[in-house]
Structure 1
Amino acid sequence: MKPFHWESTHGNFGDDLNLWLWDFLLPGLRDVHKETLLVGVGTVLNTEILPDEGRKLVIGSGFGYGSLPDMRDTSQWDVRSVRGPLTAEKAGLPAAMGIVDPAVLVTEMPEFQNISKNGKRTFIPHWESAAAGLWPEICKTVGLSYLDPRGEAKAVIREIAASELIVAESMHGAILADAFRVPWIAVSSSRSINSFKWNDWARSLGVTYQPKHIPVSTRAEAIAKGAKFWGVGFERSNLAAAELGKQRYGENVMLADPEQTTLRVMAKQALAVPSALGLWQASKAKPQLSKDSALAACKERLLSVIEGVRRDYL
C-alpha cells in the first residue's frame, strides 16, 4: 500500500507530511496490498488529482476543488473517513464519517512531543503568498516570525509547535497549531483561499472560520490570486500562478527579479504598508482554539478507524 502524495515543485508541508505520517500510524503498510493507494491528508478528493486506476483507501481526505470522484464502487473505494462534515455531505456519506483531518495525529509521534516553546508569534502564509509576496520583510516590521509553508515538513511543524501564537493563511498551519494547542488566528489575502476546506475542518472541531482580511503585498501576488492591489483589480492569471508554483522553498519572484535596485525595493516596501498594517491588526485579534474535549474525541474516533484499517489490511 502506498500513501498518496500530491507532489508539487514548490513543496507544501501539509501535503508532504503524507510521506512519513502513515508509516507511523500503520507500520508495514508499504509491504502489503500493493494495488491499494492510501488517500490521506489533503484536499485531494478530486478527479483531476487522483489516478483512475487502482483501489483507494480513504482516511480523512477532503474535497474542495474540481470534481468529486464517484466513490460508490466498493470494489475500488474503501472510504473509512473524510476530513469533515462538509466533505461527508458532498460525498453522500453519513455525517459521522466526517471526523477530522488526519494531520492532527502528528502530535502522537514521539519526536513531536515535549517541544520547548520559543516565545514566537508566527505568521505562516499560503504557499502562493510565500512565492509572490513581501511577507518575510513585512513580518519583521510587525513583530512576527515568518514561517515558509514550503519548507521541510518536520521543520515547519516543529516551529508551529514551538510558537506561542500562529497567524495562519495556510490551513494546515491552523490545523497543526490547534493540534499542538497553540492559539491561532485565520487570515486571508484573497478570494482564491478555499473557504470550503477551511470550514470542513473547522466544523469537525466546533470552531469557526472567520478570517481577518489582509491586503496582498505585491502586484505579482494580486495577479496570481485575482485580487486588488492599491485599488486596481486583477483577474486571476493561471499562468502567473503556475510560475509561482515553480518557486521552491525560500524563493520569491520579487526577490529573484534581476532588475531589483535599492530604490525599487524601497518602493515595493512602501506599497506593502497596507499589508503590514492589516497583518499587524490581524495579529492583535482574539485567537481561537478548539476545546480539549472536542479534539480528543475526534482523535479517538480517527484512531479507532485506523485500528480497523490495521485489522483489515495488515
Structure 2
Amino acid sequence: MKPFHWESTHGNFGDDLNLWLWDFLLPGLRDVHEETLLVGVGTVLNTLILPLEGRKLVIGSGFGYGSLPDMRDRNEWDIRCVRGPLTAEKVGVPQDMGIVDPAVMVTEMPEFKNLPKTKRRTFVPHWESAAAGIWPEICKTVGLSYLDPRGEAKAVIREIATSELIVAESMHGAILADAFRVPWIAVSTSRAINSFKWNDWARSLGVTYAPKLIPVSTRAEAIAKGARFWGVGFERDEQAVEEQEKRRQGETMVLTDPEQTRLRVMAKQALAVPSALGLWQASKAKPQLSADATLANRKQRLWDVLEGVRRDYL
C-alpha cells in the first residue's frame, strides 16, 4: 500500500507530511496490498488530483476543490473517515465519520514530543502568498517570525510547535498549531479564499473560522490571487505564481531584473504598508484553541479507526 502524496511544484508541508506520517501510524503498510492507495492528509478528494483507477483507502482526507469522485462503489473505495462533517456530507457518509484532519497525529511522534518553547510569534502564509508577496520583509517590521510553508515539512512543523502564537493563512499552519496546543489566529489575504476546507476542519474541533482580512502585499500577489491592490482590481493569473516562484528562494528575493533598483525595492515596501498594518492588527486579536477534551476525543476516535485498518489490512 502506498500513501498518496500530492506533489505540488511549489512544495507544501501539509501535503508533504504524507511521505512519512503513515509509516509511523501504520508501520508495515508499504509491504501489503499493493493494489490499494492510502488517501490521507490533504484536500485531495478531487477527480483532477487522484488517479481514476485502483482501490483507495480513505483516512481523514478532505474535499474542497474541483469535482468529488464517484465514491459509491465500496469495492473500490474503503472510506474509514474524512476530515470533517462538511466533507462527510459531500461524500454521503454519516457525519460522525468526519473525525479530524490526520495531521493532528504528528504530535504523537517521539521526535515532536517535549520540544522547547520559544518566544516566537510566527506568521505562516498560504503558499501563494509566500510565492508572490514580500511577507518576510513585512514580518520584520511588525515583530513576527516568518515561516515559509513550502519548506521541509518536519522543519516547518518544529517551528510551529515551538512558537508561542501562530498567525495562520495556511490551514495546516492552524491545524498543527492547534494540535501542539499553540494558540492561533486565522488570517486571509483574499476574499475569494476557499473557506469550505477551513470550516470542515474547524467544525470537527468546535472552533470558528473567521479570518482577519489583510491586504495583499504586492501587485504580483494581487494578480496571482485576483485581488485588489491600492484600489485596482486584478484578474487571477495562476501563471503569475509560477513566475514568482522563479524569483524567490526562501526568504531572499532574487533580483535578476535590472529594473529592481534599491529605489524600486523601497517603493514596494512603502506600498506594502497597509499589509503590514493589517498583519500587525491581526496579530493582536484574541487567538483560538480547541478544547483539550475535544482534541483528545477526536484523536482517540482516529486511533480507533487506525486500529480497524491494522486489523483489516496488516
Query: CA distance change for structure 1 residues 247 and 67 in 2, over 3 Å: closer, same or farther?
Result: farther
Correspondence for 1:159: 159
Matching residue of 1:30: 30
Given that residues 36 and 55 in structure 1 are in contact (C-alpha distance below 8 angstroms), is that contact kept between their aligned partners in structure 2? yes
Counterpart Cα distance in 2 of 1:203 and 1:151 = 28
**One-letter amino acid matched to 1:15:** D
CA distance in 2, matches of 1:299, 1:255: 46
Do structure 1's residue 176 and structure 2's residue 155 form an aligned pair? no
Task: Kindly report which structure 2 residues correspond to 1:90-169, keeping only aligned pairs within 5 A, or say none.
Answer: 90-169=90-169
> Is the CA contact (8 Å cut-off) linking 2:179 and 2:295 kept in structure 1?
yes
Instruction: Give the secondary-structure state (helix, strand or coil) at the position aligned to 1:30.
Output: helix
Aligned to 1:208: 208
In structure 2, how many angstroms separate the alpha carbons of the residues matched to 1:256 and 1:136? 19
Question: Offset at 1:239?
Answer: 2.4
Over 3 Å counting, the alpha-carbon distance change for 1:147 and 1:251 in structure 2 is closer
Displacement of 1:42 after TM fit? 0.1
Distance 1:292 1:247, change over 3 A: farther
Identity of aligned residues (%): 84
Over 3 Å counting, the alpha-carbon distance change for 1:218 and 1:248 in structure 2 is closer
Q: TM-score, normalised by structure 2?
A: 0.97
- The answer for the alignment partner of 2:199 in structure 1 is 199
SS in structure 2 at match of 1:167: strand
Equivalence for 1:71: 71
| Deviation readout 1:74-114 (Å, 9 max, x if unpaired) | 11100000000000011111001000000000000000000
Shift of 1:193: 2.3
Question: How far 1:256 moved relative to its partner?
Answer: 5.4
One-letter identity of the residue aligned with 1:7: E
Tell me, in whole angstroms, the C-alpha distance in 1 between the residues paired with 2:209 and 2:260. 38
Residue in 1 that maps onto 2:286: 286
Give the deviation of 1:243 after TM superposition. Answer: 3.6
Once the two structures are overlaid, the 10-residue window that deviates more, 46-55 or 251-260, is 251-260
Offset of residue 258 of structure 1: 4.6
Post-superposition offset of 1:252: 6.9
Return the offset for 1:20.
0.1
**Greater relative CO (CA pairs within 8 A, separation 6+):** 1
Gaps of 5+ in 2: none
- Which residue identity lines up with residue 235 of structure 1 in the other structure? E
Paired residues for 1:41-52 under 5 Å: 41-52=41-52
Contact residue 218 and residue 268 of structure 2 kept, 8 A: yes
In 1, distance between residues paired with 2:160 and 2:293?
A: 21
Amino acid of the structure 2 residue aligned with 1:272: A
Secondary structure (helix, strand or coil) at the match of 1:186 reads strand
Mark the runs of 5 or more structure 1 residues left unpaired by the alignment.
none
Residue 16 of structure 1: aligned partner: 16
Q: How far, CA to CA, are the matches of 1:69 and 1:184 in structure 2?
A: 33
Contact kept? 2:131, 2:241, Cα under 8 Å: no
SS at match of 1:45: coil
Deviations 1:172-216 (A, max 9, x none): 000000000000000000034210000000000000000001000
Question: What is the deviation of 1:10?
Answer: 1.0
* Superposed CA RMSD: 1.4
- Per the alignment, residue 260 of structure 1 pairs with 260
Greater mean alpha carbon deviation, residues 237-246 or residues 169-178:
237-246
Cα distance, 1:246 vs structure 2: 5.9
Q: Look up the match of 1:235.
A: 235
The aligned residue for residue 225 of structure 1 is 225
Q: TM-score with structure 1 length normalisation?
A: 0.97
- Distance change in 2, residues 1:135/1:255 (3 Å): farther
Q: Distance in 1 between matches of 2:151 and 2:23?
A: 21
| Contact preservation (8 Å) 1:4, 1:39 | yes
Q: Which residue of 2 aligns with 1:304?
A: 304
Q: Distance in 2 between matches of 1:135 and 1:201?
A: 26
Q: How many residues align?
A: 314
TM-aligned CA distance change 1:187 to 1:35, over 3 Å? same
Q: Is the 8 A contact 1:169 1:186 kept in 2?
A: yes
Determine helix, strand or coil for the equivalent of 2:57.
strand
Secondary structure of 2:74 counterpart: coil
Contact 2:58 2:82 in 1 (8 A): yes
C-alpha displacement at 1:37, in angstroms?
0.4
| Deviations 1:135-159, CA, capped at 9 Å, x for gaps | 0000000000000000000000000
| Distance (Å, rounded) in 1 between the aligned partners of 2:277 and 2:25 | 42
Q: CA deviation at 1:8?
A: 1.2
Q: Shift of the alpha carbon at 1:30?
A: 0.5
Instruction: Tell me which residue corresponds to 1:273.
Output: 273
Structure 1 CA distance, aligned partners of 2:299 and 2:247?
35
